[in-house]
Structure 1
């Protein structure tokens, strides 16, 4: 029997039942064992073949329904992890707390945290199909991967012997009425600045410089919105202070995920007591400039100084200058637009995480590009910046682009099915965000893929929401595709 929950009565009923179940299970990236075990249990309880590998990827296999037993196997794919972000003033522990969901009109919303619709709704749809006895479909392999959001390592470490299907439907897109047939490749770059500390004179006035109130968002899907990057703003404010008065810097921190546009950034600074008013004036002036610049995209941006107890030590002046130089010079945002596909972002870099440790400061970026040479060029820029400030540079978590396939059977089935259901043409598009499809192409060789999904808003940021009616229509499309195959 279904549990009575906040989503009870919504249609498709079993999709939303499983989606609500997932909101109760911790599943941040790199912390997926609990949700992986849950999926394994569901599959076994349904009497199906289940594979759980060493990195907690799940494969559940279901035979085709009557008349479809001998059709080619289709892979339904999504990822189980989610971006775990919360509002700055909210007491919430993603390792144990259930996500607080609400129904607001046509949307399921998590106002104070991320919702996990990216990509929990894919998992919920797959589970609903696996348990159904009346949805026509060919043999299915449901593949649910781990750690998609911070490195695609689940897909990268998947043993291809577990998957026999060579038609794959990725349910990790966020715009109804569009199927994706190509995506950007990407990688993470990390700059590490070794720290040197020095003691501070007594009597210095110490402050926390805080950048907050930004919307943030997905660094692929929403990089074109012109939203403010809290780390870049922090670098700009620190540079202005550095130009106009003598100050000390003791820490810099911002962002939490390299693939999320950072919403919050902090620095601990100190200055002479007779420079306090000058410091406040500098911050007020640049705050007014930035608020004017972001009046449309981030109207609630806030830049504040908060008095704290006197700091005892700070970075040396050389290190302070190196950090400011890096934050000012690292490119962030759109770097090029496609000349072949109107409106498609070709390459970008997101300065996503800034963190101070006892012996180092790290700066982590997520770059994306549909052109490999442009991705390499951004990496070279970051490497040269690191060399110029005597820092260490590392490239990691690279994944390939998914290139457009000229002849695609599954693409044509989707177009036919959408037309039959809604008497409209299905849009075929490419996306700047990274998808696991590029890795699957590299791993499986000849494989026919599309990506689709229901309407979502604000993914990777608190307030993320999922359209109820769009989910129902998207699920109907998936069922029609499986029937038409």
Structure 2
């Protein structure tokens, strides 16, 4: 791991923040895999003599006594989440189950940055955790009584916050440290839900023609792969409006275009796989199919379609590629290669193309804020055998199990909805339910969470803004965001709680390009300390 010049930092305490972040980064902590980080946090608190507790969701609360003279002030909750989005570059050998994150420091234009080697960095929300622990570890930072709240599973559906008992915390003021832009204080966020569409669909011999008799695949129906790659991806909330391509959508649209242009040819889907996380714009998607369309035509169509997509002025993914190549199923007997029928392929395409994606509505009251959006996050096929085994994940071998003797294959779609308005969110959920009924798919709602509708007149907000002005000599921006924060859950559960959210500049969140601006991170650290030091003047 590359070291950094520790003399660079104006605030000497910030070195402690970085040291703690490095230690956090050594602990695997993907969503649903947070036992290790929870145990580490629990040990951190207890070893320092702080009252520390863990609940059934692995949420951790560390209670830090007030600095001398501040004992009678109300408690302040500092809050961050322990999990991270685990994305890596194609071909990376990194294991998120066993390996820590490999960090890399660098400077550009005299600004210090931190990123990771071929994986997400986990600054979302590891840097927030590091701020909290650095305050707890210091005897020199003035603060009122603190409740350090570390919540689990935020990235999947804020389930740690939603599963927390109402008496787990007691403070009436909360500073969330999960925002991603320095100089901005967040006072509102989107709510959201994750939707699952599933259906078991008949498969047949891939080489069968319209009369269901075997034909010679080598002579008529050839297997091909289509791969959409090179996309930047991004956060499905904050990046949904900036022109990032959705690999699943591009793949489906191209496949649909082939079907419409070659109506006299046979096209039969074998399998499809795209996207890795519900809260990430998918960067890569691929499918296999058999067809009698000539290979030269397929490659020309792919090149033409890639050029067409790239020519759209709002498209912001310069390295996108759409490629077609002959699939290698040489180890499979032709009679065992299974696909959906041509009719079922058409029905699958019609359903996938009907699922809306992207920005649906902008806020009428807040400039440039997305109000409602949808993200076609994950598409995958799974064999009948896997389905009935209840497999949670596809392994490399099961992913290739497309020549099973079983007669059905499951198609699963994971879709995320967001809205800053609770009524609009419920309306869109009903629309998705109606869509599933129309196409006869099973419909499941998971991980629903409420929006945090902004209160721009909060006295707590006003006083935090004044502290920023006094500290840095300029005004802080007050915004709402189109991403889910746990503040939405807290706002619903604790109606009287006063909240703000702050954080440093993080770019490329939820992708292997995730980068933390360390100069901005230092400013947020200084600002947080000033809020706590000045808390008698920050109450509202």
TM-score above 0.5, yes or no: yes
Who is 1:182 aligned against?
Answer: 188
Who is 2:104 aligned against?
Answer: 102
- Indicate which of 34, 37, 40 corresponds to 1:35: 37
Deviations 1:276-334 (A, max 9, x none): 33333322322221232379511100111222234711012333122211221111111
Q: Flag structure 2 segments of 5+ consecutive residues without an equivalent.
A: 208-215, 384-408, 536-540
Q: Report the CA distance shift for 1:331/1:146 in structure 2 as closer, same or farther (over 3 A).
A: same
2:395 maps to 1:398:
no
- Indicate which of 253, 261, 266 corresponds to 2:273: 253
Contact 1:227 1:294 in 2 (8 A): no
Indicate the SS of the match to 1:149.
Answer: helix
Q: Distance in 2 between matches of 1:305 and 1:253?
A: 15
Alignment of 1:404-483 (within 5 A): 404-405=454-455, 407-483=457-533
Contact 1:64 1:137 in 2 (8 A): yes
The list of structure 1 runs, each at least 4 consecutive aligned residues, that deviate by more than 4 angstroms after superposition, is none
Who is 1:369 aligned against?
Answer: 419
Indicate the SS of the match to 2:344.
Answer: helix
Who is 2:312 aligned against?
Answer: 293
Deviations 1:403-441 (A, max 9, x none): 223542431231121111111111111111111001111
Deviations 1:206-261 (A, max 9, x none): 12210000000001111111110000001101101212131110111101111100
2:228 maps to 1:211:
yes
Q: Distance in 1 between matches of 2:159 and 2:327?
A: 41
Q: Flag structure 1 segments of 5+ consecutive residues without an equivalent.
A: none
Contact 1:8 1:17 in 2 (8 A): no
Q: Report the CA distance shift for 1:295/1:200 in structure 2 as closer, same or farther (over 3 A).
A: same
Task: Mark the structure with the bigger radius of gyration.
Answer: 2
Q: Distance in 2 between matches of 1:6 and 1:393?
A: 50
Who is 2:24 aligned against?
Answer: 22
2:344 maps to 1:327:
no
- Indicate which of 357, 363, 366 corresponds to 1:338: 363
Q: Distance in 2 between matches of 1:377 and 1:277?
A: 45
What is the alpha-carbon root mean square deviation over aligned residues?
A: 1.6
Q: Report the CA distance shift for 1:155/1:7 in structure 2 as closer, same or farther (over 3 A).
A: farther
2:322 maps to 1:303:
yes
Q: For structure 1, which segment, 224-233 or 381-390, has the greater mean C-alpha deviation from structure 2 after superposition?
A: 381-390
Q: Distance in 2 between matches of 1:160 and 1:412?
A: 27
Who is 1:81 aligned against?
Answer: 83
Alignment of 1:77-156 (within 5 A): 77-105=79-107, 106-156=112-162
Q: Distance in 1 between matches of 2:147 and 2:68?
A: 17
- Indicate which of 195, 210, 224 corresponds to 2:241: 224
Q: Report the CA distance shift for 1:305/1:294 in structure 2 as closer, same or farther (over 3 A).
A: farther
Deviations 1:338-358 (A, max 9, x none): 111111111101111111111
User: CA shift at 1:379, angstroms?
Assistant: 1.9
Indicate the SS of the match to 1:277.
Answer: helix
TM-score with structure 2 setting the length: 0.86
2:437 maps to 1:387:
yes
Deviations 1:434-470 (A, max 9, x none): 1100111111221000001011110001110001111
Number of aligned pairs? 481
